[in-house]
């Protein structure tokens, strides 16, 4: 049995994702594809357009066999932490043969070479990195400059560190090396519009452009062709029944949380430095909405995305995680969100091979599963809390009943 893993947000699942999934199956010869997917909040520090169960349904209807949730503390973290958590989860399953990721670069040799340099942090590179950081460069830019210095302009792969998918791909390779994982990384060149493109293209539009089309009220008939048919129908049905969420829907919750928390306590949250905590405290009187507040917090050293993630961590009560724990501590459980009817042999293999518990009913696991230590329980409780925050705001906005996370069944897909 060959198993391939994909790490994704599917926010939402579009034609490019379908291409990636089908190409992964062809390139690897995989019998099954396991998706590790972000929950209700994403790496850019914002809520997903649709909740994780809807996005799970979209993925399963388009060919995925099993969808597992990336814990919230990783799903909302920076690229290294996002990648480390997702790779640790796949590694701990002890049955995954391949990790296939999309990239603008498309050349695995470049990811292998640069990933080794970044992972080993060679002395010359490390000195150069520290120098740029001391000069006030943000970490991404400092690393880019230090790597260019180390390799020389003629050997530096053009654009490798300029795109989010490439950066995540490098972090996947670094994490695989760190865990000495037997999982083989593969990359597939991304199709169509760039990651940041905000206008719909022809066939392969970015997730950002689709989210913008939805938020602007563009008719379903205009944006649905950019999603596979089953995924478009699933998302369209949700939007008609409950609508969607954007970051400003969480504005009042965040303002209240910041008002009741003094700066010295804000620093305990993940991605919130002392400087950021003071800026948050000093600018509360000018808080109008979350989007505007992020721009007020942003500085040369604090990027927009870093500010968004820090504020989201305050909202969700996500505290600073332990420093680089083992793979098993990084991903101490695998939460199943949904699976395809024909994936029963895959589930049997994972139950047999996995060195971490597979969770389908979180409330039952918190009560009875003795394999979960206190850190794992805290992480799972954070996932439940994040889902309930999302559901609370969506239920209020849409005027629909609230459903507690512990009452949500996994998605069972049957053609």
pLDDT digits (tens, 9 = 90+) for 162-207: 788 999 999 999 999 999 999 999 999 987 655 556 678 667 889 9
* Rounded percentage of the chain residues whose pLDDT exceeds 90: 75
pTM for this model (two decimals): 0.94
187 touches 15 (CB < 8 A):
no
The verdict on 396 and 270 lying in the same domain is no
Between CA 320 and CA 110 the distance in angstroms is 32
Question: Of 325 and 193, which is predicted with more confidence?
Answer: 325
The model's pLDDT over 247-290, given as tens digits with 9 standing for 90+, comes to: 999 999 999 999 999 999 999 999 999 999 999 999 999 999 99
Average pLDDT score over residue span 301-324: 91
**Which one is predicted more confidently, 104 or 400?**
400
**Do residues 96 and 234 both lie within one domain?**
yes
Same-domain status, 32 and 60? yes
Same-domain check for residues 340 and 400: yes
**Which residue's entry shows tokens 């950002």?**
208
- Kindly state whether residues 357 and 305 are assigned to the same domain: no
Considering the domain architecture, whether residues 61 and 82 belong to the same structural domain is answered as yes
| Side-chain-facing half-sphere of 264: CA atoms under 13 Å | 0
**Does residue 366 sit in helix, strand or coil?**
helix
Are residues 360 and 235 located together in one domain of the fold? yes
Question: Residue 77 falls within a domain, yes or no?
Answer: yes
| The pLDDT value given to residue 197 | 61
Pairwise pLDDT comparison (116 vs 259), residue with the higher score: 259
Instruction: Specify if 232 maps to a domain.
Output: yes
H/E/C letters for each residue in 258-297? HHCCCHHHHCCECCCCHHHHHHHHHCHHHCCCHHHHHHHH
Q: Is the residue at 162 inside a domain? A: no
Report yes or no on 58 lying in a domain: yes
Q: Specify the number of domains making up the chain.
A: 2
CATH code, domain with 400:
3.40.50
Q: What is the DSSP letter of 32?
A: E
Is 173 part of a structural domain of the chain? no
394 pLDDT above the threshold of 70: yes
Q: Identify the band that residue 153 occupies on the pLDDT scale cut at 50, 70 and 90.
A: low
Closest-CA residue to 199 (of 221, 234, 223)? 223
Last residue of a domain, one of 263, 284, 316: 316
What whole-number distance in Å separates Cα of residue 59 and Cα of residue 68?
A: 11
* Dihedral in degrees, nearest 10, Cα atoms 94, 100, 105, 111: 10
- Look at strands 358-359 and 411-413 and give their pairing: unpaired
- Write down which residue in 316, 344, 377 finishes a domain: 316
Q: What pLDDT, on the 0 to 100 scale, is given for residue 135?
A: 86
Domain that holds residue 299: 247-316
* Buried residues in 2-25 as b, exposed as e (16+ CB within 10 A): ebbbbbbbbbbbbbbbbbbbebbb
Examine residue 111 and state whether it is found in any structural domain, yes or no: no
Within this chain, do residues 98 and 16 fall inside the same structural domain, yes or no?
yes
Same domain, 270 and 399: no
Domain stop point among 271, 290, 316: 316
Mean pLDDT of the chain: 92
What does the H/E/C string look like for 92-119?
HHCCCCEEEEEECCCCHHHHHHHHHHHH
Residue 29: band (very low, low, confident or very high) from pLDDT cuts 50, 70, 90 = very high
Regarding whether 327 and 240 lie in a shared domain, the answer is: yes
Residue found under tokens 């008939």: 221
278 with 405, same domain: the answer is no
Length of the chain: 415
Q: What are the distances in angstroms from CA 73 to CA 48, 59, 82, 256, 376?
A: 15, 22, 8, 21, 12
Q: Do residues 28 and 186 lie in contact, with contact meaning Cβ atoms separated by under 8 Å?
A: yes
Task: Sort 331 into a burial class: Cβ within 10 Å, 0-12 / 13-18 / 19+.
Answer: buried
Q: Is the pLDDT of residue 158 over 80?
A: no
Residue 214 lies in a domain: yes
Residue 194: the pLDDT is 55
Q: What is the rounded distance in angstroms from the CA atom of residue 261 to the CA atom of residue 280?
A: 10
List CB contacts of 393: < 8 A, sequence separation 6 or more. Answer: 47, 245, 249, 250, 253
> What pLDDT, on the 0 to 100 scale, is given for residue 250?
98
Of the pLDDT bands very low, low, confident and very high (cuts 50, 70, 90), residue 322 is confident
- What is the pLDDT at residue 343? 95
pLDDT digits (tens, 9 = 90+) for 63-113: 999 999 999 999 999 999 999 999 999 999 999 999 999 998 778 988 888
Q: How many CB atoms lie within 10 A of CB 232?
A: 22
φ, ψ of residue 338 to 5 degrees: the values are -175, 160
Q: Who contacts 345 (Cβ-Cβ below 8 Å, separation ≥6)?
A: 1, 32
What pLDDT score does 270 carry?
94
Contacts of 31 (CB under 8 A, 6+ apart): 1, 2, 3, 346
Query: pLDDT tens digit string along 362-382?
Result: 999 998 888 899 999 999 999
Same domain for 390 and 329: yes
Answer whether residue 113 is part of any domain: no
């Amino acid at each position: 049995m060959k198993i391939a893993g994909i790490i994704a947000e599917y926010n939402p699942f579009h034609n490019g994702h379908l291409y990636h999934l089908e190409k992964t199956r062809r390139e690897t010869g995989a019998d099954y594809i396991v998706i590790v997917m972000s929950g209700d909040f994403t790496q850019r520090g914002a809520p997903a357009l649709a909740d994780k169960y809807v996005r799970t349904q979209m993925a399963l209807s388009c060919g995925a066999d099993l969808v597992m949730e990336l814990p919230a503390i990783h799903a909302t973290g920076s690229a290294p932490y996002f990648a480390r958590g997702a790779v640790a989860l796949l590694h701990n399953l002890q049955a995954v043969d391949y990790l296939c990721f999309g990239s603008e670069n498309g050349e695995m040799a470049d990811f292998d070479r640069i990933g080794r340099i970044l992972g080993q942090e060679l002395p010359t590179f490390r000195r150069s990195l520290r120098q740029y950081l001391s000069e006030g460069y943000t970490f991404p830019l400092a690393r880019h400059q230090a790597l260019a210095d180390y390799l020389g302009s003629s050997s530096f792969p053009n654009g490798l560190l300029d795109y989010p998918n490439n950066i995540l791909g490098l972090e996947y390779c670094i994490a695989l090396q760190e865990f000495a994982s037997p999982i083989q990384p593969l990359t597939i060149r991304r199709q169509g519009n760039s990651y940041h493109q905000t206008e719909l293209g022809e066939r392969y539009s970015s997730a950002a452009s689709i989210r913008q089309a939805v938020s602007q009220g563009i008719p379903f008939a205009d944006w649905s062709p950019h999603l596979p048919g089953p995924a478009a129908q699933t998302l369209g049905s949700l939007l008609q029944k409950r609508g969607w969420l954007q970051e400003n829907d969480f504005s009042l919750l965040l303002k209240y949380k910041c008002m009741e928390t003094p700066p010295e306590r804000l620093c305990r949250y993940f991605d919130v430095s002392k400087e950021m905590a003071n800026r948050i405290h000093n600018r509360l009187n000018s808080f109008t909405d979350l989007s505007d507040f992020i721009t007020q917090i942003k500085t040369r050293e604090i990027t927009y995305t870093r500010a968004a993630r820090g504020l989201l961590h305050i909202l969700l009560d996500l505290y600073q995680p332990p420093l680089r724990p083992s793979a098993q501590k990084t991903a101490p459980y695998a939460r199943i969100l949904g699976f395809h009817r024909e994936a029963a042999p895959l589930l049997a293999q994972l139950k047999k091979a996995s060195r971490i518990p597979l969770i389908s009913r979180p409330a039952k696991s918190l009560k009875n599963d003795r394999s979960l230590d206190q850190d794992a329980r805290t992480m799972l409780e954070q996932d439940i809390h994040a889902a309930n925050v999302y559901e609370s705001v969506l239920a209020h906005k849409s005027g629909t009943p609230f459903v507690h996370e512990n009452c949500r069944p996994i998605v069972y897909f049957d053609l």
